[in-house]
Amino acid sequence: MAELTLTDQTFEQEVLKSQLPVLVDFWAPWCAPCRIVSPIVEELAKEYEGKLKVGKMNVDENQTAARFGIMSIPTLLIFKNGKPVKTMIGAQAKDNLKKGIDEVLGS
């Protein structure tokens, strides 16, 4: 499953009501670090298929980021059972992101 494009309208159904944990990449097209993280997030979506949903939300087009106190992008939030359980801010190496995901999946 490829990454989902999340909007304010789809967020509740795709993220908050998801049976699987969900990694949400809050980003914007003008954000250089976001563009660095994007291909890594795409790889993670493939690697964790069936265990984790992965979605991207453009903060310029949606208000949901404010609801979760997102002040810097890229911010990756992992939701489990409808609640944010892990926050990773800024461009990070794939290994760091995998470590955060594995922590959540293992708990």
Choosing from 34, 40, 59, 65, the catalytic residue is: 34
Q: Give CA–CA dist 26/59, Å, rounded.
A: 6
Asked if 47 is an active-site residue, the reply is no
Q: Maximum CA pair distance of the chain?
A: 35
Answer whether 45's CB lies under 8 Å from 100's CB: no
Choosing from 4, 15, 31, 40, the catalytic residue is: 31
Asked if 25 is an active-site residue, the reply is no
Of the candidates 36, 32, 10, 33, the one whose C-alpha atom is nearest the C-alpha of residue 24 is 10
The two three-digit tokens of residue 86, written as one number = 């892990």
Residues catalogued as catalytic: 31, 34
